[in-house]
Structure 1
Amino acid sequence: MSLLRTASLVAAANALCEQLQHARDPGAAFDAIGSATLHALGPGLLTINVWHAGPAQIERLWSSHPSAYPVGGRKQKGDSPWRRQLLERGEVFVGEGDAALAAVFDDVQLIRALGCTAVVNVPLYCQSRVIGTFNYLADRSAWSPAEVAALRVLAALAGSAVRDCLEARA
């Protein structure tokens, strides 16, 4: 990695840490993490969601495309291999290509319209249980291990803000 690229990543990481330190609410934290994600990985769709296990619903807390994916939107998530992998076992899901997206998402037409061809879904945890998801979709033929790792780190930063949202509702 070039010295210039390293310096840019360090500056971006420091800026994100400062923004999170001063975030007054989960929305401000989501804004900072969302901006950092799109800056680091390029244009795409990022959503941060809470998982309601009882009714088996995902609720959107933050969206980089609120006109297409508004905050507060909910999706029913019935039993599926995707649900078992991501929401029950808490394992990262990586989907690449149209067939992978169509197999998992019922709104694949909207995803395609946004120019997205691949997804990484990262489970968010609190006390060893999945409380939400961090979903990044973009135009990729394949995800690199470095991109998946970066998304896992950014998702981990979002976990406490999702937990704060849940606690505020309780």
Structure 2
Amino acid sequence: MTKVSALRPWAGHARALALAGDRQGQWGVISALLEEAFGHKLFTALLYLEEHRLMKRLYTSDESISPLGGFKATGNGPWSRLVLEEGQMYVASNEDDVRTVFSEAPMLIERGLQSAFNIPVRHEGRVIGSLNMLATRHAYDDVDQDLAAVVAGLCAPVFIEEIKDAQSAAAGVDRSALDSV
């Protein structure tokens, strides 16, 4: 008799990620993994280019809310310090929390996105990106941060590949015209 592993669902996602034929396929697998693990109404992936102090949206599950591409400057706000500099996970429980972090908070709240869970992704000790999920109020209050750390590790190779593509584009960005977080 074969014992069923508690890791079976996550192993299935890890296999699917390893077998995805292109970047879009990889992001689709990551979105499905995050949906199963934590749930989300909106998932975005942001690449962090520390040396340029820029972020780039790599994936979104809904472009009408959160369009792809372009760069956003990082600032000295609480979210940037916590997630990007300290590498800590961020949980927004309700509308007030969302308003303190997201410049587009009114639009997010209007669409029923009153909570957030942001998972930093690291490589060689540095934060290289963030997996960002939004959902209804209090959706992430009791989230399993150990599982989130495992998921971030599975996703790191996809971010590493994206860094290679974004470095040269970031060098030419005029930061004065960008929104910041």
RMSD in angstroms over aligned alpha carbons?
Answer: 2.2
SS in 1 for 2:118: strand
**Unmatched segments (≥5 aa) in structure 2:** 168-181
Q: 1:71 pairs with 63, 68, 83, which one? A: 68
Unaligned 5+ runs, structure 1: 1-6
Q: CA deviation at 1:128?
A: 0.6
Q: How many aligned positions are there? A: 163
Q: How far 1:10 moved relative to its partner?
A: 5.1
Q: CA deviation at 1:107?
A: 0.4
1:143 alignment partner in structure 2: 141
| Distance 1:22-1:14 versus aligned 2 partners, 3 A rule | same
Of 18, 21, 34, 1:21 maps to: 18
> Who is 1:4 aligned against?
none
Structure 1 partner of 2:55 = 58
1:101 paired with 2:101, answer: no
Contact 2:95 2:137 in 1 (8 A): no
In structure 1, the partner of 2:34 is 37
- Aligned equivalents of 1:151, 1:66: Cα separation in 2: 24
- Distance between the aligned counterparts of 1:20 and 1:108, measured in 2? 32
TM superposition score normalised by structure 1: 0.83
Residue 124, structure 1, aligned to residue 121, structure 2: yes
Q: Which residue of 2 aligns with 1:155?
A: 152
**What is the deviation of 1:151?**
3.1
Equivalent residue letter for 1:26? R
Task: Write the letter of the residue equivalent to 1:166.
Answer: I
Mean CA deviation greater in 72-81 or 155-164: 72-81
- Measured after TM superposition, the shift of residue 144 of structure 1 is 0.8
Q: Residue 24 of structure 1 aligns to a residue in which SS?
A: coil
- Aligned equivalents of 2:32 and 2:58: distance in 1? 15
Identity %: 25
TM-score w.r.t. length of structure 2: 0.79
Aligned amino acid, residue 141 of structure 2: W
Counterpart-to-counterpart distance in 2, 1:123 and 1:11: 24
